[in-house]
Amino acid sequence: MKFKKLEPIPAKRREEMPNSKLGITFKEWKAKKPNKNKWRNKRWAVLLFFNFLFWTSFAFHIGILEGSFSGSRFIGIYLMDPYNAMQEMLIANRTGYYAMLTTNFFIGFFVILMFYFLLGGRTFCSWLCPYHFLAENAEKLHNYLVKKKKIKEHSYNIGIKYIFWVGFLLLAFFTKILVFETINPVGIISRAIIYGPGLLLLWVVALLLFEIVYSKRFWCRYVCPIGVTYSALKKVSPVSVKFDLDKCGHCKDCQDVCLVPHELWFVKRGEATKEVHFTGADCTNCGLCVDICYGDALSLTIKGFDKIT
């Protein structure tokens, strides 16, 4: 959500923008950024490593990272999916089951909140979530089909994810079932990786197909309440993508690759209100915009420190 309190800084002329795309050839442009997939490669390595670690821990009884993404234990420290934990506490409060929730449950809940506060909230989505990995690749296919004019792009209001967030909590409260966990593709894929695939993977396939042929990144953008939970932490977290107005050429390439382009609203010419902006709550710190930015106007940073290299 953008609230314009400040007046935008007047747009510069093209000659004053060092990184403008205009006036140079594609070859010169391309030569500016040799390593285009730096952050993506790092991120995919981390994502695959941890998903693989879940599997190896169980398959070879190593016991480093036990459980699955809905609840796990990392070298003895419990970690809980916060949205699951919140549903659990809501139901527990209603049924009087509350007293039975273990100490480990609360340790897991607060450790994960602390952890993702330090690491930038929705960092979970792009750096760990197995569904994100599949959807990110499905998105490429979707973009290709849109480019070839085979299909049309359909977009919705980004705010409806808050309706889903409240809605699934209410559903858990009234039906006394963890409704979301039964349809949660993150949990389904995670369990499929660790304990062997099941028929419910068809639901994930259906979701991916819907994202490919109809609406880009539908689940991650408009539905997933886990992402919304983490985005609340992102709001206050020090890890963020930093934007330098000085270096920006306003080509908006970053918005094209971004999962949540509205968080990069300041890259449009004449919109930025400050010299330095940080991305907001929905940003997943995936680094795709950092990779694509030819002028290094965008960088992953810890607020108050220099950028993370």
Partner 1 sequence: MKKPKTPELNRRQFLMNGAVAVTALTAVGLGANYLKKLNVENSKSLLRPPGAVNEDEFIYACIKCGLCVQICPVNAIKLATIKDGLSYGTPYIDPRAQACDFSCDALQCIETCPTSALDFIPFKTAGEEAFIAYNKANPNIGKDYNPIAIQSKAMKANTTMGLAVINLDTCFAAKGKGFKGSPREDGFDGVYRSPNPKRKERKASLVNDHAFNRDICDLCVTECPIGETAIIMENNGNIMTPKVLDACTGCGVCVMVCPSSEDTIVIDKLKTV
CA atoms within 13 A on the CB side of 128: 20
Residue of the chain from 187, 227, 249, 287 that contacts partner 1 (CB under 8 A): 187
DSSP letters, 20-84, are -STTS-HHHHHHT-S-TTHHHHHHHHHHHHHHHHHHHHHHTT--SEEEETTEEEETTEEEE-HHH
Residue from 77, 175, 210, 307 touching partner 1 (CB under 8 A): that is 175
Stretch binding partner 1 (CB under 8 A), from 35-43, 74-82, 229-237, 244-252: 74-82
Roughly how many angstroms between the first and final C-alpha of the chain, as a whole number? 29
Residue from 93, 198, 205, 246 touching partner 1 (CB under 8 A): that is 198
* Of the residues 24, 134, 145, 171, which one makes contact with partner 1 according to CB under 8 A: 171
Q: Residue 182 is which amino acid? A: T
Per CB under 8 A, the list member of 17, 19, 43, 67 interacting with partner 1 is 67
Number of residues that bind partner 1 (CB under 8 A): 58
Structure tokens at 228: 């919304």
CB 262 within 8 A of CB 2: yes
Should residue 8 be labelled a site residue for partner 1 when binding is judged by CB under 8 A? no
Partners of 66 in the β-ladder: 73
Under the criterion CB under 8 A, does residue 280 sit at the interface with partner 1? no
Give the helix/strand (H/E) hosting 244.
Answer: strand 239-244
Segment interacting with partner 1, rule: CB under 8 A, options 9-17, 28-36, 216-224, 235-243:
216-224
Tokens of 20: 């403008």
CA distances from 299 to 18, 57, 101, 117, 191 (A): 17, 34, 42, 19, 34
Under rule CB under 8 A, residue 80 binds partner 1: yes
Q: Are 302 and 283 in contact (CB under 8 A)?
A: no
Token look-up 């285009």 returns 36
Q: What angle, 0 to 180 degrees and rounded to 10, lies between the N-to-C axes of helices 185-195 and 38-59?
A: 50
Q: Which stretch binds partner 1 (CB under 8 A): 22-30, 38-46, 190-198, 301-309?
A: 190-198
Nearer to partner 1, 9 or 90 (CB): 90
Nearer to partner 1, 213 or 302 (CB): 213
Instruction: Answer yes or no whether residue 9 interacts with partner 1 by CB under 8 A.
Output: no
Quote the CA–CA distance of 260 and 37 in Å, as a whole number.
19
Contact between 168 and partner 1 per CB under 8 A: yes
**Residue number, 24 or 92, with CB nearest to partner 1:** 92
* Residues 100-159, interacting with partner 1 (CB under 8 A): 100-102, 104-105, 108, 153, 155-159
Which chain residues interact with partner 1 by CB under 8 A? 57-58, 63, 66-68, 70-73, 78, 80-81, 84, 88, 91, 95, 97, 100-102, 104-105, 108, 153, 155-160, 163-164, 167-168, 171-172, 174-179, 181-183, 187, 191, 194-195, 198-200, 216, 221-222, 261-262
